Structure 1
Amino acid sequence: MGTNETLLSINRTIFINATFDNYNSDPDRKFIYYNVSIDMPSKIVSDGIWGNKNYGALLSRSTMPVLELQILTIFVITQCFHFVLRRLGFPYFVSQMMAGFVLGPSLKIEALAKFKVMLFPYGSEDVLNLVTGIGYLFFLFLNGVTMDFSMITKTGKKAWTIALSSLMIPTFIGLFVCYSFMGYLQQSLGEFDGGKLPVIVVGHSGVSFPVVASLLSDLEILNSELGRLALSSAFSMDVISEVMRGFGTAVVSSLKLDSHDKGEGKGPKLALITSINYVAFMTLTIVIARPAMRWVVRNTPEGRSVKKTHTSMVILMAILVGLFGVVANQTVLGGVLLVGLLVPEGPPLGSELVKQLEMFNTWFLVPIFVTCCAMKVDVSTPISSELVLVVVTIVVVVHLVKMLITVGICRYCNMPKTDGFCLALLLSCKGVVDFVNDVFLFDSFLMSNETISMMAISVLVLGSIARIGVKSLYDPARKYAGYQKRNILNLKPNSELRVVACIHKPSHINSVKNVLDICCPTTANPLVVHVLHLIELVGRSSPIFISHRLQERLSSGHNYSEDIIVTFDLFEHDNAGTASVSTYTAVSPLRFMHDDICYLALDKLASIILLPFHIRWGEDGGVESTDENMRTLNSKVLERAPCSVGILVNRSSSSSTHQSPLMKQIAMIFLGGADDREALCLARRTIKDYDCNLVVYHLVSSQSEANWNLMLDDEVLKSVKGYYGTIENVSYEKVSIEQPSETTAFVSDIANRHDFFIVGRRNGIKSPQTAALESWTEFSELGVIGDLLASSDTNTNASILVVQQQQMPKSS
């Protein structure tokens, strides 16, 4: 066979002028022998059609053009499938596998056969598998890097119980059934298929942590209660499975060597020696690699990136450990994953490795590698009914037992039925890692063509059912849509005000503290504050939530919230007996931070959430920086918050490092509506401090019609109109506004008279005073009046608090 001839032989084992006696013991394997002639060395880059007139344009004569065309074809077919399947709720890896089935032997269409032959010349699959296989190797390494190994010690009893029960009991039942009927199975299915069924049991009893973490991230429930429990359980199950798999690989390989030596009785002894080698390999790796990487972290200045030399050394160390793992009869992937687990999670080392490797390996090479693995599977292979019945029964029984155990434990722990069922689906999910492991077993002659095709189908079915089922059954936002009124307006007299204050950057600390000061905590109306420091999750896959009152700390020894803890501890000390402060740190992905905020507000029965605005002003009054991620977060909290929300716009330039003076002149601009009533109730708390002066500007229009809202507005305004008695530090001014332009002029006129403004958001409320201004609003989250005050055209150094009252669910 010349190099200009092609052969598509993905699903067949090829031997080139060689005979492997070790594999001839498997009678169900059909071997095909070829005598192949090739040109050596092979040409990497094509000479082009002008460089060689005879075969310059033939793809089969050059390696690089073939590789590029294969990658392009795989990408196009995958995206075509994903364009359709994502609308039906299927995960992305399904599209990758379907592309492999189309390009592989599964799709037997004569019209496409010649194109497949041209696209995959003989031997080109090895190059594609090698290049993308390296990507998968680093994908596993990055999964180890992002795992927080300290979760083993932090995982609660519930997660441990679910993990151990859902792993051990299905494994025991499945293996018991297999070995009880082993003789019958080997007789009816053949010695190869019948003897390899325990591999299927072990593969389906466990769960892959990267698969669960990826699914939770895709469904945007990583920070939910269900997501945290699923992550903890999956991590524990995966670690136990990896250790068991390591010992199992060592023992089985030793026994297999003994059987090839014609049963000389050295198997048990060799298995013991190999197990000791495995333990020694793991111990030696931990003793050497972990201190070396901690040295890298210690020698990296705070806030600086790790040197390229150090990251290259860590990557090289991972590859070398993977190669040394072969001595302990382990795969290279196992050693690389072990080194990844030993990398200190998060910044600076973990985040730098993720930054350098994730994009090219995880999002480019791995999807192609999954397609290459699917090209080895022939799902159109005729399968005996006995084998189908046995394999399907094992898979169904294992997952049914796992789901029943998980749901039962969740019910015992008083979890809702729907949440328990969703957790069971998540722990039964299969994905990329599971499918690739099955293909590796197929390459190692531990699965037949028929069995691997059924395993591929089972991965597709279980992965799709898990994603579609959880997405349809679990709504993380439903628990925030409470029917209990949690706002300031409905607080009982002399009750405490509960606040959740969010901080992203050091510049937010003093501005938030000033807002808490003007809330004027007293013994009759105490203030309970929960300060939440939000940090973006980088270099790890599992989010963390720390309560500093419980004296918890990050496992890596870093404490990112020290300044916040000190500042608000002093605030509590200065307001002893009237204010109570608890500080928290949440490390999570940006798109899931709103869950941390809303969950804390729900758990602590907060009446209002304080959020910093996404724009920071400089000393000259101009915009210094903007953060669109923070703005997106604020919008999500406004939509889902279980209580009222206040967005704090700080236009003072002194909040970054210095203590700013307490603001004395406070103004509230009132137009009417639920948000303005809520803002007025908050503003009334400031008058308890006689050093503060509150001015309420009531903007009215002759075009306004009497309605129920106006009656409610008048009732709330009585407290500042002097209806119940004159208050010295409160002023009420009624301002007549007939044209929207008058509103703009009025706001500009009073912008410099006050240090602090409190306004309502009034989202979606139409009024004559602001009707024409809504189309000019730049920041919809601030409302019309808040946007006018925050505009760069308005000359002011005052801070603005825009209040939205709790959004109650609409009755059906």
Structure 2
Amino acid sequence: MAAATTNRITSAGLVPGLHRSEIMVCQSADNLNSRGGSWIGKDLLSYTIPLVFAQLIIIFIITRTIFFLLRPLKQSMITAYLISGIMIGQTVLGRIREFSDLLFPIEGRMVLETLGELGFMLHLFILGVNTDATMVKRAGRNEILIGTSCFVLPYVLGGLVVYTMPHIIFIDEVTQHCLIFISIMSAISSFPVITTLLADLNLLNSEVGRTATTSSMVCDFCSYFASLIMGFLGISKRFTRMGVFLSIAWAVATLTLVVIAVRPVILLIGRRIPENGSMRETQFLAIVVLALLCGLVAEILGQPAGLGTFILGIAVPDGPPLGSNLVSKLDVFCTGVLLPAKFAVSGMDIDLLLAGTGTTTAIIEFIIVLGYVGKFTGTFIPAVYTGFSVSDATSLSLIMCCKGIIEIAVFITLKENAMITSEALALLLGTMLIVTGTATPLVCYLYDPSMRYLGYRTNSILHSDPHTELRMLVCVHNEEDVPTLMNLLDITCPGRHRPLSVSVLTLTELKGRADALLFSGTSFVRGSNKVNGIGIKPSKNTPADRIANTFHAFRMRHHGAAAVEIFTSVAPYASMHDDICTISLEKGANIVIVPYHKRVSFNGDLAANVPAIRMVNQNVLQKAPCSVGVLVDRGKVAENQAIRLGVTLLRVTMLFFGGPDDREALAYCSRMADHTHASLTLVWVRKTADKYPSNLDDHEKDIDAELVHKFRSTHAGNDRISFKEEFATDAVDTTRVLRALKGHCELCILGRYHDPKSELILGITEWTECPELGVIGDMLATTDFKFSVLVVQQLPQGTAMEHCHTFEPMGSSSRHSQSSEVSKQYSARSYIEPLKL
């Protein structure tokens, strides 16, 4: 049959193919570039290059539009790719002859399909780079049980039904052949698909997310092992024993070549990339060429090219600097532009309307649904057995039932190799869209990782005995955060009569890997000079090692008075707060110290270093189960290194306006009062008219007054402790008090929340830039002030104390818990007695 348009010099016809009759297209060799033919009336889309450009643009617009519409339903980009491919295909737009002939003619498929395969191959390489195959070694007993069960149960259940069903009802040979592969595919839970879904839902570093990540890796290994056996069995039926031996030999040779020859080259390239730098162009091109070479070798051995690149990707070290550089350079273009073309071309042959209502359709759909039921059950039962709640086990089971790009690619490959029919492909994709599309919003509704710590409240500083151990969690994003934190900890640890337990959490953004990490690093115990009982390990001079060594030095300076434990979190910024809150809950922290998202620039102003850190701080302030301190570092505390040598005093000022947050800040300052190298000034700002701030009721006024007087009487006669009482009538007087602090302190400590209706700050709230610091804290963080600021919050705003539960940290004694004080409503006595100033 000849082409319909006169400008398109093409012809097409049916020829015998490998599995069925296929369409062969003959096209003019000069039909590549239009060379301005549109100016003389020629059809621009009859040329290859303009047609491909138009196709990519249309696919991109349709895909992004669908993704935008589906975002409120928590759907992934892969779902949008699949739906756009189906829409372009015969199900929707492909039925419009004018549309398909104009933009997606037969002769325009080959180039688009080649670009799509290239994008898919490189996307698999990216997925391989993000994959850490050694995760299986770290899998615990629970993850192995869940991962194995969620594969074996649907695999065995589907196989038994497929084997017994032909003995019950009549099934034609083609359908029976399809059911075998459908039952096998139902057991797969792909690691890249699960981790991508968890990243979209911000659940990578949650408890359910980590279990799903490791379990999917175990399930992947089970499916690879089963497919390997099935493949060799299939080869043995078609070929001689020598053919089977050669097939196995070539597969082993390919893996050996990647591990022995290619991986050392990649590791050598990775070692030459700076720690926080980017890779050179020659290094990037060398790895891309190696990826193409592995794809070529896979094609020569009769395997898909994507399999070769995926294996190479696994051989590439994940994470920075190599893995993160590769992902950042390849991901956007390959995944955003080329990959949708793969689904568009595949969707042209998919017609969901082929799914009829006959017996064959019902049988195929029954096997598909049975596979999902088996996978859900195979995950749910062992999850409940290993200690998950019913709600969390349901969420985990729904996650493991989700399928994505790997399964879609396998479905399409099975269809192209005539292993399943077009009807089976339509049913598989349609059911996958329904299950995955329903599961993701259900998981968001059922599972909130913050619920494990939102309902609990660890001891605040105010309610803890000052002579017991103060438990602090300090968060470090990079080495610049360490000096100020070190001096802050130094003046917080006056001696053995007030011991300090510090948990250090090093936070790193997840880059170039698929799974989030949270692990305990080097643990230092009070009174011990050994690390984990085997002595101090030599430093490798990495940033993490230098941070750990610095806090080890702090522990040695306060020998017997301080304990330090190091943790490392590798997670996306969107869910990094989960690790912070989890560690604070498990360690029973009294306060969490997080760095401010702005740093001092070269001209002395504060500038945003990593804006995403602000989101982390906001989430911690909102969800933390304990008090939170936001440290605005201007270098003044870090510069005062002499406090460690006892040469000079670190001048600290406490601003007290009243309220729960200011009381918590004062309780923290009381920990510094006995330190010989710190001077403390308490500035009580009061309203002139009635001697008390108008934003507090009488009960709160009594609490504030008694607490301040208790502090004064306790430290009377201490020349390092001073007290000032400032009276103000409005925000102007408050500003005057704040400006008087210039040049008189290196660190100012205050509470976060103050009533915005108070006359003392009325009008200032309109200029607040960073609400996470509070009204006064935000003002002190402006360029008018040069000292560092610590803003303390006692409870997330809006959290009622009577609705919180107490939490007894693991391994802590009863003296570390004030559950009776926390569980009851606050009273004046309950605020004063536990502090014992």
CA offsets 1:665-715 (integer angstroms, 9 cap, x no match): 221110011110100110111112244322111111126445222122122
Shift, 1:305, TM fit: 2.6
1:603 lines up with 2:586 in the alignment: yes
Shift, 1:439, TM fit: 0.9
1:143 lines up with 2:127 in the alignment: yes
On the 8 A contact 1:5/1:122 being kept in 2, the answer is no
What secondary structure, in the 3-state scheme, does the structure 1 residue paired with 2:563 have? strand
CA offsets 1:116-167 (integer angstroms, 9 cap, x no match): 2222122212221111221111000000001112212112111111111211
Q: Aligned residue for 2:110?
A: 126
Shift, 1:37, TM fit: 5.0
Greater mean alpha carbon deviation, residues 362-371 or residues 288-297: 362-371
1:566 lines up with 2:556 in the alignment: no
Q: Distance in 1 between matches of 2:72 and 2:633?
A: 42
Q: Distance in 1 between matches of 2:194 and 2:139?
A: 16
Alignment of 1:507-586 (within 5 A): 507-549=480-522, 559-586=542-569
Q: Aligned residue for 1:741?
A: 732
1:594 lines up with 2:589 in the alignment: no
Structure 1 residues 485 and 504, CA, compared in 2 at 3 Å: closer, same or farther? closer
CA offsets 1:422-442 (integer angstroms, 9 cap, x no match): 111111111222112201110
Alignment of 1:89-238 (within 5 A): 89-107=74-92, 112-182=96-166, 188-238=170-220
What secondary structure, in the 3-state scheme, does the structure 2 residue paired with 1:610 have? strand
On the 8 A contact 2:643/2:677 being kept in 1, the answer is no
What secondary structure, in the 3-state scheme, does the structure 2 residue paired with 1:743 have? helix
1:18 lines up with 2:2 in the alignment: no
Correspondent of 1:288 among 244, 249, 261: 261
Q: Aligned AA for 1:412?
A: Y
On the 8 A contact 2:637/2:788 being kept in 1, the answer is no
Shift, 1:337, TM fit: 0.6
Correspondent of 2:673 among 687, 695, 702: 687
Q: Distance in 2 between matches of 1:347 and 1:536?
A: 10
Q: Aligned AA for 1:107?
A: V
Q: Distance in 2 between matches of 1:109 and 1:228?
A: 42
Shift, 1:748, TM fit: 1.0
What secondary structure, in the 3-state scheme, does the structure 1 residue paired with 2:306 have? helix
Q: Distance in 2 between matches of 1:193 and 1:342?
A: 39
The number of equivalent residue pairs is 779
Q: Aligned residue for 2:615?
A: 632
Q: Aligned residue for 2:788?
A: 799
TM-score by length of 2: 0.87
Q: Aligned residue for 1:497?
A: 470
Q: Aligned residue for 1:345?
A: 318
Structure 1 residues 353 and 243, CA, compared in 2 at 3 Å: closer, same or farther? farther
Alignment of 1:705-784 (within 5 A): 705=694, 706-722=697-713, 727-762=718-753, 765-784=756-775
Q: Distance in 2 between matches of 1:766 and 1:755?
A: 30
What secondary structure, in the 3-state scheme, does the structure 1 residue paired with 2:685 have? strand
On the 8 A contact 1:497/1:528 being kept in 2, the answer is yes
Unaligned runs of 5+ in 2: 524-530, 804-837
Unaligned runs of 5+ in 1: 8-13, 25-30, 259-265
Q: Distance in 1 between matches of 2:520 and 2:662?
A: 34
What secondary structure, in the 3-state scheme, does the structure 1 residue paired with 2:502 have? strand
Alignment of 1:27-426 (within 5 A): 31=21, 37-45=26-34, 47-50=36-39, 52-53=40-41, 56-59=42-45, 61-107=46-92, 112-182=96-166, 188-253=170-235, 255-256=237-238, 258=239, 266=240, 268-381=241-354, 383=356, 385-426=358-399
Q: Distance in 1 between matches of 2:225 and 2:262?
A: 18
Shift, 1:76, TM fit: 2.7
What secondary structure, in the 3-state scheme, does the structure 2 residue paired with 1:64 have? helix
Greater mean alpha carbon deviation, residues 348-357 or residues 270-279: 270-279
Shift, 1:566, TM fit: 0.8
On the 8 A contact 1:618/1:653 being kept in 2, the answer is no
CA offsets 1:566-595 (integer angstroms, 9 cap, x no match): 111111111112110111121222222211
CA offsets 1:740-771 (integer angstroms, 9 cap, x no match): 11111221112211222111111554321111
Cα RMSD after superposing both structures: 2.8
Q: Aligned residue for 2:604?
A: 621
Structure 1 residues 97 and 57, CA, compared in 2 at 3 Å: closer, same or farther? same
Q: Distance in 2 between matches of 1:37 and 1:228?
A: 52
Q: Aligned residue for 1:664?
A: 650
Q: Distance in 2 between matches of 1:465 and 1:376?
A: 25
Q: Aligned AA for 2:612?
A: N
Q: Aligned residue for 1:27?
A: none
Q: Distance in 2 between matches of 1:731 and 1:658?
A: 23
Structure 1 residues 626 and 95, CA, compared in 2 at 3 Å: closer, same or farther? closer
Q: Aligned AA for 1:678?
A: E
1:809 lines up with 2:782 in the alignment: no
Q: Aligned residue for 1:263?
A: none
Structure 1 residues 657 and 255, CA, compared in 2 at 3 Å: closer, same or farther? farther
On the 8 A contact 2:355/2:427 being kept in 1, the answer is no
Structure 1 residues 657 and 189, CA, compared in 2 at 3 Å: closer, same or farther? farther
On the 8 A contact 2:653/2:745 being kept in 1, the answer is yes
Q: Distance in 2 between matches of 1:367 and 1:292?
A: 32
Q: Aligned residue for 2:422?
A: 449
On the 8 A contact 1:666/1:756 being kept in 2, the answer is yes
On the 8 A contact 2:346/2:412 being kept in 1, the answer is yes
Structure 1 residues 235 and 728, CA, compared in 2 at 3 Å: closer, same or farther? same
Shift, 1:107, TM fit: 2.7
Q: Aligned AA for 1:486?
A: N
Q: Distance in 2 between matches of 1:212 and 1:495?
A: 45
Structure 1 residues 421 and 724, CA, compared in 2 at 3 Å: closer, same or farther? same
Q: Distance in 1 between matches of 2:643 and 2:602?
A: 14
Q: Distance in 2 between matches of 1:208 and 1:406?
A: 14
1:698 lines up with 2:684 in the alignment: yes
CA offsets 1:140-195 (integer angstroms, 9 cap, x no match): 0000001112212112111111111211232122223223445777xx34222211
On the 8 A contact 1:528/1:581 being kept in 2, the answer is yes
Q: Aligned residue for 2:625?
A: 642
Shift, 1:95, TM fit: 3.0
Q: Distance in 1 between matches of 2:497 and 2:603?
A: 41
Taking only the aligned residue pairs, the percentage that are identical comes to: 29
Q: Distance in 2 between matches of 1:521 and 1:193?
A: 78
Shift, 1:420, TM fit: 0.9
Q: Distance in 1 between matches of 2:732 and 2:582?
A: 41
Q: Aligned AA for 1:665?
A: R
Shift, 1:499, TM fit: 0.5
Structure 1 residues 462 and 747, CA, compared in 2 at 3 Å: closer, same or farther? same
Q: Aligned residue for 1:11?
A: none
TM-score by length of 1: 0.90
Structure 1 residues 58 and 669, CA, compared in 2 at 3 Å: closer, same or farther? closer
On the 8 A contact 1:598/1:640 being kept in 2, the answer is yes
CA offsets 1:281-318 (integer angstroms, 9 cap, x no match): 22232211221211212333444432222222222222
Q: Distance in 1 between matches of 2:22 and 2:600?
A: 73
